[in-house]
Every structure is written in C-alpha cells, then in structure tokens.
Structure 1
Amino acid sequence: MASRAIRIGSLAGVSLIAAMAVQGAASAQTAAPAGADTAPAASAASTPAPVATPAERPRERTVPAGAPSGDILVTARRRSETVQKVPLAISVLDARAIDATGSFNVLKLTQIQPSLQFYSTNPRNTTVNIRGLGQPFGLINDGIEPGVGFYIDQVYYARPGSATFDFLDIDRVEVLRGPQGTLYGKNTTAGAISITLKEPSFTPEGQVEVSAGNLGFVQGKASVSGPLSDTVAVRIGASVTKRDGTIHNITTNADVNSQDNLGVRGTLLFKPTSDFKLTLSGDYNRQNPDCCVQIYVRTGATQRPLNRQFAGLAAAFNYAPPSTDAFDRVTDLDATLRAKQTIGGVSLKAEWDVGPGTLTSVSAWRFWDWKPSNDRDFTGLPITTVSQNPSHQNQYTQEFRYAGTSGPIDYVGGLYGFYQKIDTTGSQVQGPAASRWLLNPTSANASNPAVLNGLTSLNDIHFKNTSLAAFGQVTWHVTDRLRLQPGLRVNYDKKTGSYVATVINGQGVTINCAPPLTSGSALADQCATLPPQSYNPKFSDWNVSGDFTASFDVARDVLAYATYAKSFKSGGINLSGLPLDANNQPILSSGSVKPESVNHYEVGLKTQFLDRRVTFNVAGFWTDVKNYQATVTNGQLGVIRGYLANAGKVRTRGVELDASFRPTSQLSLYASGAFTDAKYVKFVDAPCPPELAGGTAVTAGQTPSAPGTPGGRSPLACDISGQWLPGVSRWAGSHGGEYRIPAKLFGDSEIFFGYDGSYRSKFSSNPSRSAYTDIAGYYLANIRTGIRVNRTWELYGWVRNVFDKNYYEVLATQSGNTGLVVGQPADPRTYGATVKARF
C-alpha cells in the first residue's frame, strides 16, 4: 500500500505540473545578467559559481546588496543564497574548478576535499563517507542505507555505485558536511553530496572536450544546448571514458582494472512565464570494465595451525603468487572477471512561484542493473571458481516542497516518499582445490577434492524499502544580524527481505543441513562451507530528526554559527547471509540491526577580508552515534559478504579549515585541512582481527593466545572499544593554485600553470583494526599547464600522481583466516593532454 501511495503521489505531482502549465502564471520578469565569467579557481571555498537571475531564484531573501558577482550561490538549504551566508560546513566546486583539477568523478574529488572519503573495490562495493561516517566500511549489504546522501538535481540516488560514474554537464558540486536530516532525509547522518547540472539555455551554446593519455586513456565529453521555441529549450550531453587496466593478469594475458564508461543525458526545459518552469530529464549510464581485482600484498600470522595458513596451504599445491610485490601489478586470478553496471532514469521537476514563495515538485524513477563476476579467493587456484550476485533495482521518489518568506521568517516545508525494490540471484561455486584449502588437513575429506568440488550455493534475495517523511525548517531573522533556525523531520521506514540459499553438491543433489550431522562426514564439511539458509528479515519504525542553528553576523563578512542536530539512520536487515550456530543453522537474531541515533554539535566561523580576496572558514564538530551500523567480517566461509551488527557507540570529532586567496588577478591559491578523531567508543562484542582469529575457541577459564599464535586459542569476540574507525585518516589536507600569464599568441589569451597536492595520514582498512591492514599515509601531486584563448578554447597537458607514489586504496583479508592480505593498488603516474572548445 505504501509503495502504491508513492506511485500515486508521483502521478499527482505530474498532474499538478500539468495544471500549472495550463493555468500559467504572472508575466515574465526581465532576467538580470549572470555574474562575470572569472578565471577558474581550484578552491572549494571560493570557486565562483554562476549567479542566479531573479527568474531563477525562489522568492526568498536574495543575495545581499553589494555582493560581488563572483559570490558563490548554493541551494544547500533548498533555496538560493551565497555560500558564505549559509551556517553550515559546505564546500563548493563549480564546473571550471572541477575541470581544472581533473576531478571528473567523486573519487577524484577526495584529493581536494579532505573530509570526504571514497573507497570502491568494485562499483557495487562503493563507500562514500564524510568525517569517517556514512557507509559501513567493507562489502556492501543491500539491507541498509548509506549515511551520505547522493543527489543529482534534487533526486536521491540510492545506489552508492552511482558515485563511480563520470561527471557530465555539471554546474556545481556541493559537499555538505555533518547531518542533513531535516532537508535531505533521515539517512544523511554524515552529510550529503548535491550535484547541480547545467540547465538548458535559450541562447545556443555548446562545449566539446577530448583528453588522451598513457595507459590508453581516452575521454570525450560534449554538450549542446539551445532553444526549440520561445518557451522550450533543450540540452543534450554525452561522455565516454576508456583506459587500459593497471594490473596484468598472466592467466588470461589481459590487463585488468580498466575503465569503460559511457553516459548520456538529455534535458528539456519548458518556461512559459518567469514564474513557472518545468524540467524533464533522462539519463543512461553504463560501465563495463575488465574489473575488479585485489592482489597479493602480504601474509600475516593468524591463530590457525601453520598447515592451514596461507604459506602451508600454498605449499600443499606447490603454488606461489606471480609476485609478492603488489606494485609489480601482476596477478594470476583464474575466475571470470566482470563489473558491468547500468544506471539510468527519468525525472520531472516543476517550480512555480506562487504566493510569497516557490512550490516545487520532483518526481523520479531510477533503475540499477549489476552484472558481476569475481575471484573471491584472490589466487590462481581453483578454490572458489564462481562468485557473483547480479542485482536489479527500481526506485521511485516524489517530493513536494514549498519555500518562501513572510516578514522576518524564511521557511521551507514538504513531503517526501521513497520506494525501492531490489532482486538478486547470485551463486558461489567451489572448485577442485576447495577441499584442501578450506577443510582441516587432519580431516580425511581434505584429501578428497570431490567433497567440495562443484559445491554450489544458489542465492535468491529480495528486498523492499519504503520511506515516507514530512519536514520543515524555519529561519527567524531576530535582528539584521541574528538568526535562529529550527528544523524538524518525521520519518516512517519499512524494510522487508527474503534470503534463500539453496546448496547443491557436485553430484547435483540438494543438501540438507538439519541436525544431527555426523562429525567428519562429507555432508558436515559441505554444510560448514556453504550452508543452506532461508530467512525473512523485516524492520519498521518511526523516527524524528531535528536541528537547531543560531547564526550571527559578527561583521559584514564574518559569520559565526552553532548547531545541534538530532539525526537518525534507519534500521536495516541482513541480506548477505547470517552467521551460524553450532548446528550450522542461521542465527536469526542477527537478521536485523537497530537504527543509528546521532547527536551532533558544531560551531563555525566564516570570514572574508582584503576586499573579499581572502576567504577563511573554520568548523569544529563533535558527533556521537549510538548503535552504529557496522559491516563485520565473518570467519565462516559460507557467508559471502560478512554481516551487519550494531556497535554500541562511535564518536567522530575534529576541526576543518578551508581557505582561498587571490592576491592578484593572475594568481589563485587554496588550502583545506581536516583533523578527524573517529573511533569506536564502545564495541565489546566485535569480530576479532585476523591475528586473533582462526584458532580453537576459548572456553570458560581459558585465556586467548597471543596474537598470531599458530594453533592457538581465539576469543569468541573482541572488545575493540577505543580503536579507530576504518577508512578515515586523522590528518588530511589539500592545497594548490593556478598562475595565469596574459599573452597575445592567438588573440586574447593566457598561459596557465596549476598545481594540486593532497595528503592523508595512515588509516585502518579493516572493521576491527589489524596490524596487517593499516594503510600508510601518502602525499599526491598533480600538475597542469596550457593555454586558454578568448575563453572559447583551451589546450593543456597534465600529470597526475607526479611522483608515481605507490599506495593502496584498500586492503582486505582472505576469508577463513588464512592470513592472506590482498589489496588494490591505486593508479600509478598518468599523463596526457586535453583540448576543450566552447561555442
């Protein structure tokens, strides 16, 4: 019924839009000229964005009188306003800064956004975090939602894989740090990334961009826009990116971890009057690279007996990895590799100036198809020969929002509905090496390949998610300098799922693992390796999010603010298999996880001086999360992706700085930094790190063995309270700038040189911190130099990772506590050239 209500709401939105079009509105206002076209700046704090014309602005408070044309306009509070007047930690990059810094996707943004973390072992398993919070670090579980909202033109994208695609026809990117639960949904407990695309233009225009570089890199982007009539304009854009792989697979003689992206987008704008406009958008995106592999990095001692750790197991097969130096970039994986995903959809947005404000309706449908194939044993041995979970998702969203001004009050309120359905049919198949690798060598079955060879788990997984909300936020201008801003959001969430794993042995017979099982039998070993499971988890709950912000203009260009936010992240359900009890039966109590409850405190100061040539912003924050949703590693081999659990409490706190400086018209500089102290405050029953796992379980009165003791005793769980949260560095920073020299080579031209540097300190790459999976800190440098002519075309060369720094994006461990550590080496030094023309 709820999903039907959302669909009916979407149709209602379309009907309302049609009615608006029929009724028309007041006569058009004369459009003011857009802001001056300034030279690109790499700074997230002061990159100029186009200034909205009066016809484009909601009827709220406009840009302050006397504000320079270069002021950045954002819509972080669902209304257009200058970024320095928004009491929120927010970074903004416009299209010119994105192009100049080579930030053509979210991964590249992390090099100039210190508080943003992005990790992706493949498009499905993509994590986007802010200040260390957002998505549990590790393999993705469909039963929970990310804590960083990802929006494109006000449409929520539920799939984290959306963030792996190339930017196309971008106007600006806003990174909102800290909980955004009032206006962006209950699940934005860490922040939101809001991307605004370029609108169709009634003045003909276009842009073409082509890049080429080493590793066979080729990227092309093109867009064109113009009027179809006095009231209708269109914009069409397309992009393609191809690049050879950075890792050579000697088994297939192919280079893997390549890039193969395609994107197209079309937008139709209907604007019969200055008070009403209707925007219809559609997009299709496809990725089909030879991807994604993680390769041998090192081994570390676990509690398993020596002959069951990696070195002993490999010796039994007379096996050695092709290299023990991951930066040789070779592998011998023998399973089929595929990482194909397609994402697309249609949205319809109506904006109608009516009464003292603007009524907005946003209706959208989106789909996601995922067709993977992986080598989950990370070796050239036929242990796990097939590992894949193809999925298909549909989502529907509908938002109604009204924003306006009445006297000293600015306000926004609305209704929101979301429905999502995911269907997954996956499989995991064991090969002829599985018995020896996975079973205890003392078992007679370990020397019998037939016991596990061909053992197949067929997974049928379904998920439905409905969310409904009402929200509102008010800004009371108590005086010309003091503002108070309360906000509230009421949410209802319902999740239902089904997980059925049917297991067939190598003879094609469906196995039954109901107790009692004969210890040491082939059936018992098969059930311990790929256990059949069937369960139907569910979750439903109401929650209330709210925030309160006080802001004060200390001086004309100095804003101080303080915020308290109470936010929630919806509870979830486990859809990747459950841990087993002593009888190899799923532990049903692990079928769901509680909602996260967030208390957030923040103070900030936003300043500009020296005639606004210097911008310096600072924010301090403290965020407590109760019942933090963690993806935990499971030592049992049959659980493909780990499972979800609640950590009692985590905390992240820190300080962020953003600065930019334009000492002359020829030089632009920027610097950003973040200190983030993110840790588990209380997680007493966490899975143990690999050095404490794999041994005989301790019983009453026994003491666990020292870490890495072969054949030792392992605790049933570990207290990791006080340890770092995974994926976040304590120190991160970025800096750079661009210097421009006027020239007369081809008319009105300039020669430019740009530099961008970034640093991240050491961070943990395992949910329970391990000595084997810490990633060392690293510094990266990118440079570019070229010529711009008449602001219509430019040609420049670029080098990324100038010093060819070897570093890992992620590290992980092989399941079963063998001690094998695998990783994903980041891109080596790349270089190339770009030519761009505007008309």
Structure 2
Amino acid sequence: MLAGTASALVAVAPANAQDQSPPEADAGIADATTGSAEAAPAVASEDGIVITARRRVEQLQDVPLAVSVVGGDQLERTGSINVSRLQQIQPSIQFFTTNPRNSAANIRGLGAPFGLTNDGIEQGVGIYIDQVYYSRIAVSTFDFLDVEQIEVLRGPQGTLYGKNTTAGAISITTRAPTFEPEARLELSIGNLDYVSAKGSISGPIIDDKLAVRLAASKSHRRGTIYNLFSDRWVNEQDNLGLRGQMLWRPTDTLNVTLSADYNRQNPECCAQIYVRTGTTQRPLNRQYAALASAFGYAPPSTNAFDRLTDLDTPLDAFQEIGGVALRAEWDIGPGTLTSVSAWRFWNWGPSNDRDFTGLPITTVSANPSKQDQYSQELRYAASGESLDYVFGLFAYHQKQHTTGAQEQGSAASRWLLNPGNVPPGSPGCATPTANACNPAVLNGLRSENDIRLKTTSLAAFGQLSWHVTDRLRLQPGLRVNYDKKDGSYVAVVTTGTGSTVLNNDQRGVLAPQSYDATFSDWNLSGDFTISYDVSEDVLAYATYAKSFKSGGINLAGLPLDAGNNPILSASTVKPEKVDHFEVGLKTQFLDRKATLNLAGFWTEIKDYQATVTNGQLGVLRGYLANADKVRVRGIEADFSVRPSRRLSLYASGAFTDHEYVKFVDAPCPPELAGGAAASAANPASPAGTPGGFSPANCDISGQWLPGISKWAASFGGEYNQPGTLLGRAGEAYVGVDASYRSRFSSNPSRSAYTDIEGYALANFRLGFRTDDGWNIFSWVRNAFDKKYYEVLATQSGSTGLVVGQPGDPRTYGVTVQARF
C-alpha cells in the first residue's frame, strides 16, 4: 500500500528527489538532485552521494533515514539562494517569514510555532553550518555562501543533533580549503534592479600543511511593494556575506579548521499590506470599515497584488550575524575524535508598522535584540566489521537581551478604545468626553520593554549500529539533556505627558508588566532503528524515536485578567514530548540510473508549544500555550532518473495529514473574537456577529495545524546537447523546476479569513556551460507570474483587518559563472 500510494504521489503530485547515485560509470559523479555530471558535489564518491547525517561518512543510500541532499551547484542554478527558496525544491520544508526575526523553518509541518517570534521558545528544526548549531532562525534569511551541499534530515534527530531537532535538521556544509589552487566567480543581474556577485578563492600557503579559503557575496534587489507615504519601494533585499577558513594539517591524521564569518542585511523591510476584511464579534462601529470611515481613510488599494501601501512608520530590518569556530578532527584508534568549539553573535535592529495602515495608530514598534552563544561539542565516531558507533558530549550557553518599544499615536484613541453606546454603523462617539474621542488619552502612550534570557544546555549522547548479519542491522541511540532557563520581562508604560499613572483604558492598550520566570528540566530522548538490505540496491528500515523540545518562557508579555493585570501562571510552557514512528524503503534500479525512496511517518506531540494570537491589545506579539496533543502523519516519495548523459529528471511528493488531536482551550479565531464575554445568560454568538458575545476560548480539536499543506510537490529536469560557443566546447542545456503546495491555514486557530489558497510556481533556465569551467544562463522565476501569499495575519484588537505578504512576482535575469 505504501509503495502504491508513493507511486501515485510521484505521478500526480511530484516533488524533488535528492537521493541520486551515478547512472553510468563514464558519466562522472551524479549531482545530488538531478544526476547532472556537471554539477557534482565534491563530497560524492564513485559509488554515490556521501553524507554525514550520522556524524560519520556514509553513502546516502546506505543510511536508514529520510534524508535529502542538494549540491551547491544545484542551489546555484535553481536560484535556491536561501532556506526560503530551498522549500521550492524540498516539499517537506515549510518556511514562513514576516521579517528575519519572525521566521520559522518547519519540516513535515513541525518545528516552530506559527506566529511572531517569542524569545523564550526554541526552534524544532536545527540549523547547522559546518557542524555548528545556529540558534537564531534569522540565519535562514541570508544568502547561502560558498556551500558544498545541504543535507535535510526529516523526522526527530534528537540523539545526535540535540533537543532542538524534534522535526528534523538542516545541515549545511561549506566548501573546504583546498591544497590545489582554485577560484569561483559568479555575477547575476536581473529585473527589479537585481545585482548579485559571489566569489571564492582557495589554495595552499605551506605545501600540504596549511591552506586557506576566502569567500564573499553581495546582493541587492529593489523592493516589490511601493510605499506612497515614503515614496520608496520596500521589502527589498540587501545582503552581504564574508567567510574565511584556514585548514592546518600538522600530520596525516589531524585536521584543524579555523573559520570566521560575518553576514549583514540592511533592507527597507518588511511591509504587510491590506488584503481583505472579515467580520468579527466587535461592535460594528469598532470594526475596520467604520473606524477607517471615521478618519476619512482608505488604503491605497484593496488589491494586494497592486503592491501598494501607505505605511507611515519607518521600516527597517537591519541584522548582522557572525562568529568564529574551531574544528579539530583526529584519526585515533579505529575512529575519529572531533571537537567543535564556536562563538556566535546576532544583532537585530528593526522598525515595523504594526497597525498596517497609513494612520498614526502605532507610531513606534521595534524590538532591537542582541544575542551571544557559546557551544562546545566533543564526539568520537568509529566504524568496524560488526559495530559502528558514535558518542559524545555537548555544552551550550546563550544570552539574549531585547529592548523593545511601542508607542501609540494620535489616531490610537479612536481606533482602539470603546466610544460608547452609539447607533449601529455610526462612526461618532456617544459623548464628547469619551476617552475614544480624546486623542490625548493614548497619543504618546509608550511601553519600554527590557527582556532578558539566559539558557544553559548540557548533554551526553551515543548511538550504536550493530551488524547482526550481512544484511540486518540494529541501531539504538540515547541522549540525556539538562536545560536551565532564566528570563525576565519588564514593561514600563508612560503616558504622553510622561506619567506612569494610567487609567483603565490606557492599561488595556499597553499594560505595565514585570515578572521573572525560571525553567529547568532533565530529559531523556532516544531512537531505535531496524534496517535490512532486501537486495544490493534495496534497503528497508523502521524507526521509533522518543524526543522532546525544551520548555519555554513567555517573554513577549502575558495575557491580562479582568483587572488588566498579567496572568503570571502563563509565564512558562511545558516541554514538548514527541513520539515518532517511521518506515522507509530506499531503492535503485535500471542499473542504478533511477532512484526511488519512500517514507511513511506518524508523529504525535503532547504539550505542543503553540504561539497563539491574542485579541487583547496589551499583548503585542501573542503568547505561548501548550496544546494537549497534535498529530502529523504522511507519506513521502522521492524519485530521480537519468536515462542518459543528456537527460535527467526528478519528481517527488509529500502527503501530510495533520490536526490538533486535543486543544480544548485554544484562543478563538478572529470571527469569534472581540465581543463581550459570553456567559450562561449570554451564550456565544454565531461567528461574525457584530456586537455579539465571544467565548473565552475555543475547542479546536480536530482542526488543521497552521502552515501545513496536505499536498506538497516539486518536479523538474534538465536536457543538454553538446556544442560549441565562441570556439569553446561544452553543452547547451535547458532546465525546469516547478513546485506546488495545496491550501494551508495561516492562523494558529484556523480562520475562514486566513486560509491561503494552493499555488504552483515554475522556474526555467537556458544556458551553455563549457568544458573549461564557464557557465552562462538566463533564468526566470515564477515564470507565469502567479499571484500568491506567503503569509496572512490579522490586526490586533479584532478590527477584522487581514493583512498579508504577497509572494515575489515574476523575476528574470542572466548569470555568468567561472571556475579556475
């Protein structure tokens, strides 16, 4: 049944298959995705693609794990310049972002709660670059720099990769220094004033003892949304990346690599613009249409794909990430001892318009943040005739400091406060003395926030692979982890006159809060895998994994009680507890010209950490809550074939069934929020009843999880033909890469107003590459100019305004690459 369903996935809703081995002995090393000999990753061997998913060097098809590999050259020619683009050739990845800090990378729909980032919670998809863990998801928005290959490990990886990999891991390997001189150059230009330049140079300093590698990239693209208020294009791209590595080989058995990197972004970004309105339970004269009418306001366009806005607060998304790492690999005894030491920093300097309009409602919304992290891993891995094993220790310490600010403007009183009992549809106030009619009540009201978090994590881990027979292997793994978190949140609120004495209306908009929270816990996680070689080219496996994600601290403000005081019991959330089952089949046929890999999985999470949308005005970013139980299950199929040197094809698909199994006290969706509190005497009104009664919470058991498409797919291929260009021998080629995902919810509690319809994207390329290292090609992304949304959200306060971020329009350009 699994094989039949997977075959249907390939035929009906294909997605990208990365598991590929060389189809012909004389065809060179196959690329990890398309089988192109030209695009061979350096970590391939004559027998197939080499990976390090189990912290030792192995052939991809020999590893009983759902893992996909994308070579660096495949990333370049498909335009997969960052994790957001990677999801278009990896259907099991979901990536959402409203700005670099508020980003989430999920695998199989799990990993990070959907919504604005809360500093007190961790990601569930670990991102590693050269074996160093990156705790800030913001790194995923930067351009990939000098990448050798990317391994996407699907399913819990807690034994070897730690507590932050309950959904999987993305392991990025950069190109290493070489003892043979080499250089790479790339220049791209395109519409929207796009310019990108990349380069690297590598070579020896002391014969075969010391080598260095330097790489740099710079890219810029004009924004895709025009701001009439500032007369500027916004949501632009502006990236700078620098990386240096030094490899020292004092002996044949010892490699020491020192690396440093610096990455900076400084775009005018990130705007979310008017999409639509939806009726809530708030009185009709306090919903968007009536409020806008009271100010004589209308958005520049009610069609988001006109790409117009009038946001009146400056936009900024400045960030810089960098660090230093020292990796030592010493062949000793039957295996290799590896030490990875690292320090990293992240600085974030944003400015946002959180009312999403051209009115002075919220005139300041910024949460600048700084982080330092230190990590040390020590492990030993060995392979033998009957036993393969790896064991090690890991230590991690992180410090975060965020100094946020929010300030209300002259339109805030009328927009946010109750004007009194007025006739339905009337934009006026009941009495001239109502606070809503007095701009001074909220004008200048300002919250200064000081948020701090310290995290310490320690772990010991080990995994053993026992070759019971030539075909049967048993693989148990275990990890013990200790976490300690100390957090504090202080919000000092002052009026426009500088007073700290607030009335109830002011406290309801920006509430003073001060609390400390501590979390500490021991956790045991592990996995057990049985694998069997059905034949030389067929591997079957079954896995059970018990994993967890560390508990969290709410560090974005707490929900308020009836007296507008913070509910301190909501200051922490419990750890997630994950039970995961998986079966898989990895096959090759047609003389290894074709690969078909199948995986079926069932994942259940108790105490799922959800970022929930809060209708209260005093909590700006939502807060964290535990859902009792969620379930994600599905089937994946990866297929690739290279029938000849001229043609390579790939297709794969993912079917994912997902739901809140039990979440009885969830926040309600927008259409049920904003009304007076329901009670026995006044039961909850039907959804979208203006002036109705709203339940305190909603039972969303059985509903969709946010951000997950039931169907996701990608497919494509490349055809080449030998020829000459300007006297240089080589081959002309044409390629296509397409992706599809079905409808998904863009709100933690599914709403009729925030479902995003499914869409398909197609990218094309046409070029010529020479035998001596030159490559020139034209490309077009979103070739059919599909109009789609990356994310939808609602304005706080239950006004019914729905805003969104339109996906990129059609882009096109030319790229020239050279290798020496």
**Same fold, TM exceeding 0.5?**
yes
Q: Does the 8 Å contact 1:47/1:72 carry over to 2? A: no
Cα RMSD after superposing both structures = 1.5
Q: CA deviation at 1:703?
A: 2.0
CA distance in 1, matches of 2:528, 2:307: 51
Q: Does 1:720 align with 2:700?
A: yes
Aligned twin of 1:520: none
Q: CA deviation at 1:280?
A: 0.2
Q: CA deviation at 1:127?
A: 0.4
Q: CA deviation at 1:747?
A: 2.9
* Cα shift readout 1:231-286 (whole Å, capped 9, x = no counterpart): 00000000011000000000000000000000000000001222100000000000
Q: CA deviation at 1:78?
A: 0.2
Q: Does the 8 Å contact 1:44/1:93 carry over to 2? A: no
Give the letter for the 2:712 counterpart.
A
SS in 1 for 2:336: strand
Deviates more, 1:635-644 or 1:589-598: 635-644
Give the letter for the 2:51 counterpart.
V
Aligned twin of 1:372: 350
CA distance in 2, matches of 1:744, 1:293: 47
* Cα shift readout 1:116-160 (whole Å, capped 9, x = no counterpart): 000110000010000110000000001010000000000000000
Q: Does the 8 Å contact 1:42/1:101 carry over to 2? A: no
Q: Does the 8 Å contact 1:43/1:659 carry over to 2? A: no
Q: Does 1:652 align with 2:632?
A: yes
Q: Does the 8 Å contact 2:32/2:69 carry over to 1? A: no
Give the letter for the 1:810 counterpart.
V
CA distance in 1, matches of 2:26, 2:361: 61
Name which of 574, 580, 585 aligns with 1:594. 574
SS in 2 for 1:182: helix
Q: CA deviation at 1:70?
A: 5.6
CA distance in 1, matches of 2:41, 2:805: 39
Give the letter for the 2:440 counterpart.
A
CA distance in 2, matches of 1:48, 1:560: 29
Aligned twin of 2:158: 181
Name which of 276, 282, 293 aligns with 1:304. 282
Aligned twin of 2:485: 495
Q: What are the equivalent positions in structure 2 for 1:85-484 lying under 5 Å apart? A: 85-230=62-207, 231-442=209-420, 444-484=434-474
Aligned twin of 2:737: 756
CA distance in 1, matches of 2:222, 2:670: 34
CA distance in 2, matches of 1:44, 1:826: 30
Q: Does the 8 Å contact 2:36/2:648 carry over to 1? A: no
CA distance in 2, matches of 1:826, 1:311: 26
> Unaligned 5+ residue runs, structure 2?
1-24, 421-429
CA distance in 1, matches of 2:107, 2:170: 10
CA distance in 2, matches of 1:590, 1:47: 55
Q: Does the 8 Å contact 2:43/2:51 carry over to 1? A: no
CA distance in 2, matches of 1:404, 1:121: 44
Give the letter for the 1:662 counterpart.
R
TM-score (norm 2): 0.94
Q: Does the 8 Å contact 2:239/2:263 carry over to 1? A: yes
Identity %: 68
CA distance in 2, matches of 1:466, 1:161: 21
Q: CA deviation at 1:69?
A: 1.2
CA distance in 2, matches of 1:201, 1:460: 47
CA distance in 2, matches of 1:293, 1:718: 31
* Cα shift readout 1:212-244 (whole Å, capped 9, x = no counterpart): 000000011000000000200000000011000
* Cα shift readout 1:580-609 (whole Å, capped 9, x = no counterpart): 111111100000000000000000000001
Aligned twin of 2:424: none
Deviates more, 1:788-797 or 1:77-86: 788-797
CA distance in 2, matches of 1:169, 1:343: 16
CA distance in 2, matches of 1:127, 1:416: 25
The alignment covers a number of residue pairs equal to: 782
* Cα shift readout 1:525-584 (whole Å, capped 9, x = no counterpart): 101110000000110000000000000000001000000000000000000000011111
Aligned twin of 1:797: 778
Aligned twin of 1:637: 617
Q: CA deviation at 1:40?
A: 4.9
Q: Does 1:507 align with 2:497?
A: yes
* Cα shift readout 1:170-202 (whole Å, capped 9, x = no counterpart): 000000000000000012100000001110000
Q: CA deviation at 1:407?
A: 4.1
Name which of 544, 554, 559 aligns with 2:539. 559
TM-score (norm 1): 0.92
* Cα shift readout 1:689-732 (whole Å, capped 9, x = no counterpart): 00000001111343211100000010000000011110010001
Q: Does 1:663 align with 2:643?
A: yes
CA distance in 1, matches of 2:303, 2:798: 21
Q: Does the 8 Å contact 1:41/1:47 carry over to 2? A: no
Q: Does the 8 Å contact 1:213/1:830 carry over to 2? A: yes
Q: Does the 8 Å contact 1:47/1:94 carry over to 2? A: no
CA distance in 2, matches of 1:76, 1:176: 7
Q: CA deviation at 1:44?
A: 9.4
Q: CA deviation at 1:325?
A: 0.1
CA distance in 2, matches of 1:44, 1:540: 48
Q: Does 1:681 align with 2:671?
A: no
Q: Does the 8 Å contact 1:280/1:346 carry over to 2? A: yes
CA distance in 2, matches of 1:775, 1:747: 48
Q: CA deviation at 1:453?
A: 0.1
SS in 1 for 2:702: coil
Give the letter for the 1:455 counterpart.
L
SS in 2 for 1:511: coil
Give the letter for the 2:198 counterpart.
K
SS in 2 for 1:537: strand
* Cα shift readout 1:671-699 (whole Å, capped 9, x = no counterpart): 01000011110000000000000001111
Give the letter for the 1:431 counterpart.
G
Structure with larger RCO (C-alpha < 8 A, sep 6+): 2
Q: Does the 8 Å contact 1:49/1:71 carry over to 2? A: no
Q: CA deviation at 1:790?
A: 1.3
Give the letter for the 2:593 counterpart.
R
CA distance in 1, matches of 2:721, 2:349: 49
Q: Does the 8 Å contact 2:27/2:645 carry over to 1? A: no
Distance 1:235 1:398, change over 3 A: same
Aligned twin of 2:46: 69
Q: What are the equivalent positions in structure 2 for 1:538-577 lying under 5 Å apart? A: 538-577=518-557
Q: CA deviation at 1:837?
A: 0.4
Aligned twin of 1:705: 685
CA distance in 1, matches of 2:737, 2:384: 45
CA distance in 2, matches of 1:322, 1:787: 45
Distance 1:536 1:35, change over 3 A: farther
Name which of 714, 720, 726 aligns with 1:740. 720
SS in 2 for 1:100: helix
> Unaligned 5+ residue runs, structure 1?
1-33, 54-67, 513-522
CA distance in 2, matches of 1:702, 1:307: 21
Q: CA deviation at 1:788?
A: 0.3
SS in 1 for 2:206: coil
SS in 1 for 2:291: helix
Give the letter for the 1:126 counterpart.
S
Distance 1:727 1:43, change over 3 A: farther
Q: Does the 8 Å contact 1:47/1:97 carry over to 2? A: no
Aligned twin of 1:812: 793
Aligned twin of 1:18: none
CA distance in 2, matches of 1:816, 1:244: 33
CA distance in 2, matches of 1:236, 1:70: 30
SS in 1 for 2:77: helix
SS in 1 for 2:48: coil
SS in 2 for 1:162: helix
